[in-house]
């Protein structure tokens, strides 16, 4: 691979420079044209091994959002929703340091999102644990996203990351995609899948929504939400009975118990968990049994669904049984890296030896601590320091989140104002990823150098600098004078990063953090079974838009993306819509937690009896309908498949089909996007 271009920002000079996309966990490298110190266009980088020179439309339009409505200087407010006052960095940081010094450390919470570099994350983790003395530090983006996936991978493969790489896709004879929709969520990965399929790789799509990816599948298994364990364990049973498992797997820890567990799943039990026919399930089991080079990937359908941790264990157990590669990508650009850096309560996600090494260097590390979801939905945080995120939009029960923020001293290190920063006491402006320096670790665990493609437009500072300054005001030194100083500490301390060569990173080369499996073992789980749907109810599920990223604060600023997306709509299977005669009419959708209203429209991805709604709709929010419940294992909200009632005026509309999920199959056309 080539060296990164050297970035020189001279007034009026026109240079091409490389930067990392700020959005998803593939972390594609993009080529920016920079004029007068500003990115004026974004293009592909043909030498990028991740995007293969074909990043997606969101990445290719990011320059448009970089200068719209950015937070340019620190802001403080006198009291909640008080008048904002622009101040210098020194004053802002002194206010924050004073608040930290005067608080009980147990009441202080650091929430780090996947939008910062590894260096930013490590400096914040260290500041929380060793300077402020609080165990409450969390990878807040993973907590509402792939935490349960990472836990399952750590438990089964000994490493909290996917075992495979994107390049492996071309080598597979079978790919099982469970609850993930790479056609919309990871387009460069989807291109690889499509190319592999053209060369003969079979693709099984397993999900509860006939998402766009099912178009590129040889077999689509539509599963009742929560029915994943039954389906996956039936497949595993067939593999074991036909002795079609990987060599030596009988010797892996927990194999006997696992075999006993899956033997409880026959075709009748598994077929009850399906919306499709048992014949399809038998065919899926045959394909898995016959595969010699299998890959699996999972997504939010599992992590956010009722199957949750149990479904993920079942999936990765099956992968272990088959010796399959795990190809699960990650949501935000550096959510893998932030987790690797130890952003978890009390550094519990590190092994004992690594924790003691960190203590030796940093000083005592407090144990205990709670997750950020617990803090916002049930705790009473005194002080919250968060990097870029918008929990008022992205967490369940926005009202409960607002209450927690109103009762805490909130510091947001962020790039744009949003609903959450409205409730911040101090706002510290930070750069976007293409303006940062350091490293990120993508969903393959590929460690990528990050160089500023363009300078930040105002007085933005990265979090490793903010953390260093805060420590200094609090009378301590982190001792970092450059991002590279932090990179060196990462290589010394972070589990799995010893193989990373800082010199190679400095010359623009990607590196790899350790990948599993290391001491693999099978893990059992309690099967939750398919969800019960109360009579007359529909099941509500959220969808991601190909034009928007999450809540869309950034992508709605890009004209082409905003133009391409329609207004909010309550999406139903076209047959339900037709039988009820409500096409285009405004309907009200209510859960026990709240209601939203929008016109009803047809979408072939939605099975009968389900309601779909896009997460990026900002006026009527999906999360108003999500109850503030967290999964017992990963403390992740259960965002998907919420029983809801639908009303037209005062009249309640019940699903016309007797059975939820009946006849879900329809041709997926352009309307499905």
Ligand X SMILES: Nc1nc2c(c(=O)[nH]1)N[C@H]1C(S)=C(S)[C@@H](COP(=O)(O)OP(=O)(O)OC[C@H]3O[C@@H](n4cnc5c(=O)[nH]c(N)nc54)[C@H](O)[C@@H]3O)O[C@H]1N2
Query: In the bound complex, what is the minimum distance in angstroms from residue 122's beta carbon to ligand X?
Result: 17
CA 184 to chain centre: 14
Q: Which is nearer to Mo ion, 205 or 639 (CB)?
A: 639
Q: Which is nearer to ligand X, 134 or 397 (CB)?
A: 397
28 interface partner picked from ligand X, Mo ion, ligand SF4, none, CB below 5 to 8 A per type:
ligand SF4
Structural contact between residues 517 and 510, judged by C-beta atoms closer than 8 angstroms: no
Q: Which is nearer to ligand X, 28 or 145 (CB)?
A: 145
516 binds ligand SF4, rule: CB under 6 A: no
Closest by CA position to 209, among listed 327, 143, 302 = 302
CA 112 to chain centre: 13
Query: In the bound complex, what is the minimum distance in angstroms from residue 176's beta carbon to ligand X?
Result: 11
Which helix H or strand E contains 123, and what residues bound it?
A: helix 118-126
3-state DSSP percent of the chain in helix, strand and coil, to 5: 35, 20, 45
Closest by CA position to 117, among listed 388, 345, 361, 346 = 388
Q: How far apart are CA 93 and CA 75, in angstroms?
A: 11
23 binds ligand SF4, rule: CB under 6 A: yes
Which residues 6+ apart lie within 8 Å of 353 measured at CB? none
Q: Does 517 sit behind a cis peptide bond, omega within 30 degrees of 0 on the bond before it?
A: yes
* Contact pattern for ligand SF4 over residues 182 through 221, marking x by CB under 6 A: ----xxx---------------------------------
Q: How far apart are CA 134 and CA 601, in angstroms?
A: 48
Q: Which is nearer to ligand SF4, 183 or 274 (CB)?
A: 183
59 interface partner picked from ligand SF4, ligand X, Mo ion, none, CB below 5 to 8 A per type:
ligand SF4
Q: How far apart are CA 122 and CA 145, in angstroms?
A: 20
Structural contact between residues 112 and 143, judged by C-beta atoms closer than 8 angstroms: no
Contacts with ligand X by CB under 6 A lie at 22, 24, 113, 115, 141, 144-145, 178-181, 184-185, 206-209, 211, 223, 225, 228, 299-302, 304-305, 307, 331-332, 388-391, 393-394, 414-416, 418, 430, 432-433, 541-542, 544-546, 548-551, 553-554, 615, 622-623, 626, 639-641
Chain position whose Cβ is nearest to ligand SF4: 59
Closest by CA position to 20, among listed 38, 4, 2, 35 = 4
388 interface partner picked from ligand X, Mo ion, ligand SF4, none, CB below 5 to 8 A per type:
ligand X
Query: In the bound complex, what is the minimum distance in angstroms from residue 229's beta carbon to ligand X?
Result: 10
Query: Could you say which of 4, 17, 19, 24 contacts ligand SF4 (CB under 6 A)?
Result: 24
Closest by CA position to 531, among listed 223, 217, 131 = 223
Q: Which is nearer to ligand SF4, 311 or 389 (CB)?
A: 389
Q: How far apart are CA 329 and CA 311, in angstroms?
A: 17
Query: Could you say which of 65, 128, 130, 145 contacts Mo ion (CB under 5 A)?
Result: 145
Q: Which is nearer to ligand SF4, 26 or 338 (CB)?
A: 26
Q: Which DSSP string corresponds to 448-486? A: EEE--SS--SSS---HHHHHHHHHHHTT-----SSHHHH
Query: In the bound complex, what is the minimum distance in angstroms from residue 498's beta carbon to ligand X?
Result: 28
Closest by CA position to 312, among listed 448, 499, 539, 157 = 157
Structural contact between residues 526 and 599, judged by C-beta atoms closer than 8 angstroms: no
Query: Could you say which of 28, 166, 341, 531 contacts ligand SF4 (CB under 6 A)?
Result: 28
Q: How far apart are CA 292 and CA 584, in angstroms?
A: 49
182 binds Mo ion, rule: CB under 5 A: no
Scanning 103-111, 141-149, 157-165, 316-324 for contacts with Mo ion by CB under 5 A, the matching segment is 141-149
58 binds ligand SF4, rule: CB under 6 A: yes
Query: In the bound complex, what is the minimum distance in angstroms from residue 288's beta carbon to ligand SF4?
Result: 28
Query: In the bound complex, what is the minimum distance in angstroms from residue 329's beta carbon to ligand SF4?
Result: 9
Query: What is the binding site for ligand SF4 (CB under 6 A)?
Result: 21, 23-24, 26-28, 51, 55-56, 58-59, 186-188
List residues near Mo ion by CB under 5 A: 145, 331
């Amino acid at each position: 691979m080539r060296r990164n271009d050297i970035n020189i920002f001279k007034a009026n000079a026109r240079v091409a420079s490389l930067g990392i996309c700020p959005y998803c966990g593939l972390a594609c490298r993009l080529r920016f044209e920079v004029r007068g110190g500003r990115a004026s266009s974004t293009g592909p980088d043909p030498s990028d091994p991740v995007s293969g020179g074909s990043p997606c439309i969101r990445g290719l339009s990011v320059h448009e959002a970089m200068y719209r409505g950015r937070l340019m200087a620190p802001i403080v407010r006198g009291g909640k929703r008080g008048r904002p006052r622009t101040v210098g960095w020194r004053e802002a940081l002194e206010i924050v340091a004073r608040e930290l010094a005067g608080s009980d450390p147990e009441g202080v919470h650091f929430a780090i999102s996947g939008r910062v570099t590894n260096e930013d994350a490590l400096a914040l983790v260290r500041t929380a644990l060793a300077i402020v003395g609080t165990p409450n530090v969390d990878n807040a983006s993973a907590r509402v996203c792939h935490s349960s996936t990472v836990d399952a991978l750590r438990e089964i493969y000994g490493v909290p990351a996917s075992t495979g790489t994107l390049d492996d896709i071309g080598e597979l004879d079978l790919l099982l995609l469970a609850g993930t929709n790479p056609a919309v969520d990871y387009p460069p990965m989807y291109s690889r899948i499509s190319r592999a399929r053209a060369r003969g790789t079979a693709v099984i799509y397993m999900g509860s929504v006939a998402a766009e990816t099912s178009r590129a599948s040889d077999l689509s298994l539509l599963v009742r939400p929560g029915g994943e364990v039954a389906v996956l364990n039936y497949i595993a049973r067939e593999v074991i009975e036909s002795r079609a498992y990987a060599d030596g797997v009988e010797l892996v820890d927990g194999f006997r118990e696992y075999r006993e567990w899956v033997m409880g799943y026959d075709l009748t039990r598994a077929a009850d968990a399906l919306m499709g026919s048992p014949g399809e399930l038998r065919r899926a089991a045959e394909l898995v049994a016959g595969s010699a080079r299998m890959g699996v990937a999972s997504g939010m359908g599992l992590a956010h669904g009722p199957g949750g941790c149990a479904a993920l264990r079942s999936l990765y157990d099956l992968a272990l049984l088959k010796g399959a590669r795990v190809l699960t990508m990650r949501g935000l650009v550096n959510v893998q890296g932030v987790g690797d850096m130890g952003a978890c309560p009390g550094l519990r996600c590190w092994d004992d030896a690594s924790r003691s090494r960190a203590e030796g260097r940093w000083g005592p590390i407090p144990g205990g601590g709670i997750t950020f979801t617990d803090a916002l939905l049930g705790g009473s945080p005194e002080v919250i320091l968060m990097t870029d995120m918008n929990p008022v939009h992205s967490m369940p029960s926005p009202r409960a989140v607002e209450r927690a923020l109103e009762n805490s001293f909130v510091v947001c290190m962020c790039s744009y104002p949003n609903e959450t920063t409205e409730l911040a006491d101090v706002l510290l402006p930070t750069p976007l990823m293409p303006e940062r320096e350091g490293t990120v670790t993508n969903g393959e665990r590929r460690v990528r150098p990050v160089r500023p493609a363009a300078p930040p437009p105002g007085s933005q500072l990265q979090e490793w600098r903010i953390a260093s300054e805060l420590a200094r005001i609090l009378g301590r030194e982190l001792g970092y004078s450059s991002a590279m100083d932090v990179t060196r500490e990462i290589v010394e301390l972070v589990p799995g990063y010893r193989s990373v060569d800082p010199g190679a990173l400095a010359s623009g080369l990607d590196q790899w953090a350790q990948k599993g499996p290391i001491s693999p073992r099978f893990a059992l789980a309690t099967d939750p079974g398919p969800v019960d749907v109360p009579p007359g109810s529909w099941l509500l599920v959220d969808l991601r838009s190909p034009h928007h990223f999450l809540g869309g604060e950034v992508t709605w600023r890009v004209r082409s993306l905003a133009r391409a997306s329609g207004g909010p709509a309550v999406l139903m299977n076209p047959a339900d819509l037709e039988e009820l005669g409500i096409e285009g009419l405004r309907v009200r959708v209510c859960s026990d937690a709240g209601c939203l209203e929008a016109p009803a429209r047809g979408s072939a991805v939605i099975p009968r009896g389900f309601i779909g709604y896009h997460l990026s709709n900002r006026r009527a929010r999906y999360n108003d309908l999500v109850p503030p419940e967290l999964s017992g294992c990963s403390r992740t909200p259960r965002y998907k498949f919420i029983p809801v009632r639908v009303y037209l005026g005062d009249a309640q509309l019940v699903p016309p089909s007797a059975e939820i999920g009946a006849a879900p199959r329809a041709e997926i056309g352009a309307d499905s996007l």
